[in-house]
């Protein structure tokens, strides 16, 4: 079982408050100390594109040596939009990189200003530029719905899955960008994946816009999926998907997994403490249900 924490990247990218470099560094250190094995620390995009993730290069230069010294078996990941971003990411000795893809051409154009043919060329070049056996994954966004094109048919999903696997990418993160996924529209995707593909090549990335992220996760666990993305405190959203809200909360996911005897090496209490610290940084209350439970029992707020 593996949790990839995306809070420092996907979680922060849509926030009105921009954390300082020191605050982001503290956040990542605490996430490592909680027992999480995989953390996406930021994105090598232009500062003007996503100001909240500016200076990821400098951040990586701080946290990568810390991780290598104290937690050498763990992995720090970064999102990379293009060849130049990959070049800079590799300079920091990051452990793994993530790339973008989407089933919707409109969403692709709004996100990275490329057509489908241009995206395929980009992904082909990025894969060639990767060092041999360097850990990599691709987010396949708009899994079941696009805010601009509407419902996505499974055939569109599997065309991209086959393309990405044929290129040789390690992992595809099937991403419910807008939170429209539910067990019924996931059923045909899961059915074909479990029948015709190796599940080890897939992770699931759910947003909780309509309150279905944890339900979808439970169904996926029953189908045999073992890799999930989540965000500390349920932080998240997408600047290119109007109305999309937070990710599946890491604490809520962990509670579910630990109730089944999984992921016992991760400290839920350390994660909730880190989320309360993050609330102070952001000056807001996070939507995670475990945090809400703690607040009800202790009257804890982000002003404490």
This prediction's pTM: 0.95
Confidence of residue 239 (pLDDT cuts 50, 70, 90): low
The residue with greater pLDDT, 301 or 48, is 48
Q: Which domains does the chain have, with CATH numbers?
A: 2-298 (3.20.20.70)
pLDDT at 240: 59
Does residue 301 register a pLDDT over 70? no
Clarify whether 238 is annotated catalytic.
yes
Quick count: other Cβ atoms within 10 Å of Cβ 259? Answer: 8
- Between 74 and 45, name the one with better pLDDT: 74
pLDDT at 180: 96
How many angstroms separate the CA atoms of 77 and 293, rounded? 31
CA distances from 65 to 12, 60, 76, 274 (A): 22, 8, 11, 21
pLDDT interval class at 297 (50, 70, 90)? confident
**CA triple 17-23-27, angle to 5 deg:** 105
Look at residue 299 in the predicted model and tell me its pLDDT.
Answer: 72
Which has more pLDDT, 265 or 242?
265
Residue 177 and residue 175: Cα distance in Å, rounded?
Answer: 5
What does pLDDT average to over the chain? 95
Per-residue pLDDT for 300 more than 70? no
Evaluate whether 102 touches 111 at the Cβ level (below 8 Å): yes
pLDDT at 231 over 80: yes
Read off the pLDDT of residues 87-112 as tens digits, 9 standing for 90 and up.
999 999 999 999 999 999 999 999 99
CB 6 within 8 Å of CB 205: yes
Q: Which residues pair with 146 in a beta bridge?
A: 150
What confidence tier does 159 reach under pLDDT thresholds 50, 70, 90? very high
Given 101, 238, 288, 296, the catalytic residue: 238
SS3 249: strand
Question: What does R_g of the chain's alpha carbons equal in angstroms?
Answer: 18
For residues 177 and 179, what is the distance between their CA atoms, to the nearest angstrom? Answer: 6
């Amino acid at each position: 079982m593996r949790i990839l924490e995306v809070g420092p990247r996907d979680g922060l990218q849509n926030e009105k408050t921009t954390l300082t470099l020191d605050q982001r560094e503290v956040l990542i250190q605490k996430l490592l100390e909680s027992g999480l094995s995989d953390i996406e620390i930021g994105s090598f995009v232009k500062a003007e594109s996503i100001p909240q993730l500016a200076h990821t290069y400098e951040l990586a230069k701080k946290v990568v040596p810390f991780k290598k010294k104290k937690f050498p078996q763990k992995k720090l990941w970064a999102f990379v939009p293009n060849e130049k971003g990959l070049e800079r990411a590799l300079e920091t000795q990051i452990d793994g990189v993530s790339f973008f893809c989407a089933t919707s051409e409109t969403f692709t154009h709004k996100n990275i200003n490329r057509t489908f043919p241009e995206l395929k060329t980009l992904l082909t070049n990025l894969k060639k530029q990767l060092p041999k056996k360097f850990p990599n994954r691709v987010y396949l966004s708009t899994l079941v719905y696009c805010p601009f094109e509407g419902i996505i048919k499974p055939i569109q999903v599997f065309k991209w899955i086959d393309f990405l696997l044929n290129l040789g990418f390690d992992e595809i993160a099937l991403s419910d960008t807008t939170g429209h996924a539910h067990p019924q529209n996931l059923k045909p995707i899961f059915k074909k994946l479990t029948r015709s593909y190796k599940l080890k090549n897939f992770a699931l990335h759910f947003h909780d816009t309509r309150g279905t992220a944890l339900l979808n996760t439970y169904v996926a666990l029953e189908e045999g999926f073992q890799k999930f993305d989540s965000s500390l405190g349920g932080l998240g959203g997408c600047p290119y998907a109007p109305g999309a809200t937070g990710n599946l909360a890491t604490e809520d996911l962990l509670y579910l997994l630990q109730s089944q005897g999984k992921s016992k090496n991760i400290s839920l209490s350390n994660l909730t403490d880190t989320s309360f610290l993050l609330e102070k940084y952001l000056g807001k209350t996070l939507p995670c249900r475990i945090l809400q439970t703690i607040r009800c029992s202790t009257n804890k707020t982000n002003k404490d």
